[in-house]
Amino acid sequence: MKSCKDVEIICTKVQYKEASFLEKIKIKLHLLFCRTCKSFSKKNTELTSLCSKANIKTLCIEEKEKMKTELKSRI
């Protein structure tokens, strides 16, 4: 049985589709017995879903560099 800390890491890997088949089996087994990790997994899944639905837009690298340069010049 994995420790809860290990399951937390694997749970995050599952959310980002980076977990191996064996890790997925181990986490499912652990979640059958651990309510705390089951709750964490559920909340993590909801958070990932909300973030993907949020349609968040970020600055491109050039815009970030321009902003850094401007901020440095004002200091």
Q: Where do we find the tokens 């694997």? A: 10
Q: How confident is the model at residue 25 (pLDDT cuts 50, 70, 90)?
A: very high
What is the pLDDT averaged over residues 32-45?
92
Question: Other CB atoms closer than 10 Å to residue 37's CB: what's the count?
Answer: 22
* Global model pTM greater than 0.75: no
Residues in contact with 1: Cβ distance below 8 Å, sequence separation at least 6, in sequence order: 29, 30, 33
CB distance 20 to 4 below 8 Å: no
Per-residue pLDDT at 61: 92
Q: How confident is the model at residue 48 (pLDDT cuts 50, 70, 90)?
A: confident
Q: Is the pLDDT of residue 65 over 60?
A: yes
Q: Is the pLDDT of residue 2 over 80?
A: no
